[in-house]
Structure 1
Amino acid sequence: MGNKRRQRMVKMHPSDGSTCKVETVQMEKCGMPDCQSIPCMLTLWSDWSDCSVTCGIGMRSRWRMLKTPAEVGECNEELEQVEKCMLPECPTDCMVSEWSEWSECNKSCGKGHVIRTRMVKLEPQFGGAPCPETVQRKKCKVRRCSRRLSDEKRRRKEAPERQRNKQMRGDPDIPEHTGCKMRPWTAWTDCSKFCGGGIQERFMVVKRKYRTSQITSCKDMKEIRACSVHPC
């Protein structure tokens, strides 16, 4: 409960100098609603803030303020709201494994090459960095081939027609070692891995050595190549 008051002023006193016998102030009791029943007065919600991340899933928030005087009573309305926000997916770079060990040289003599491989562990996504190379090769030289073999290669170069005829007949590429006869190349072995980079091998073995052959002129041969280089 409280009181309310009103008043008025005398504009002109009586001409005989007496006092105005009128009431110039009035008061009466008044009642107000219970303070706890007065609703909260709040500002409008602010705009949502920027997302907390630049890509992927983050959070954002917005606020509002209390306008009702604190003495009116406690206000239980929420003043802040938080929600998830989703932006385009973050770029994911390609991930690869460590390099394997270098393979054996693919030639038994002279100049050849060795290879090594690595697997793709995670493909790039959403514009991430592409995958680097998964197969590397470099030159190798095991030992020097015999002169008789070099002479045979030179004679083969001097007879291109005979070589073309051999290819037309579908004969396998069998080097003619002086002093020995070689069996055809075996089929390539199964790849050592199903995916991520493996190797295959094939072999050529000596079928027969002649008495005139030298120790270094007639040797089994092996070749290696990469396979299953696609990512797992």
Structure 2
Amino acid sequence: MRLLSLVVVIFFIALLITESDAWRRRRRRRRVACQMNFWTHWGSCSVSCGSGRQKRSRSIKVYPFESSPCPSALEYRTCSIRKTNCAVSSWSSWAACTKSCGAGTQTRTRSITVRPKNCGASCPSLVDRRGCTGYQCPRNCLVSSWGAWSKCSVTCGSGTASRTRKIITTPAYGGKPCAGLSDHKRCTITQQNCVVSPWGSWSPCSGSCPNGRKTRLRRVILKPTGCGTRCPVLSQSSSCM
């Protein structure tokens, strides 16, 4: 009986100790506040140029055991992205003219020294051109086509005929000179003697004899050319007998 009473007393003592520890643990838990991790690094700006926002965050390290809220896990701040305009070098010297004579072009260039960033002004043209004129180009002579041949220089026998052409463009600045402007060739005029037909019959007498007259005719078969003999008379008259 004593042993049983002793056991019961020990049980109640242990129960009281356990309840006391639980109460102390509950008290400790109620005193624990929310704990946060360190802030992350600031993020990139929300714009590529001008004014924007950056943010950083943190997470909860120890959650509170009571309903008291944790502090904000996000934080923002303003940011400004500074723009960089394009910058170029000075123009180079003008290059040689593209044509050694006549109209051509010259160019000059420049390079980019600072590239634009963050909405900065874009680069201007890097190539510039202008017209230029080299030495005067050689100008060759230009002539027209040959004209028609002239008549032979003689009316019979051997002679010469000629033809000409004229200058359209005169040569200059060392261009090719003009070729001959006249051309000649030999010509021969062949002769043809006149050929006539035989006499025709006499016509009736134009009146009473002896005062009447009668006529007869002949015609040219081949006309004379060159130095050929001229045609004889083509008509003949006679008194009536």
Q: Which TM-score tier does this pair reach, normalised by the shorter chain?
A: 0.3 to 0.5
User: Which has the larger Rg?
Assistant: 2
Output the TM-score relative to the length of structure 2: 0.44
Output the TM-score relative to the length of structure 1: 0.45
Relative contact order: is structure 1 or structure 2 higher (C-alpha 8 Å, sep ≥ 6)? 1
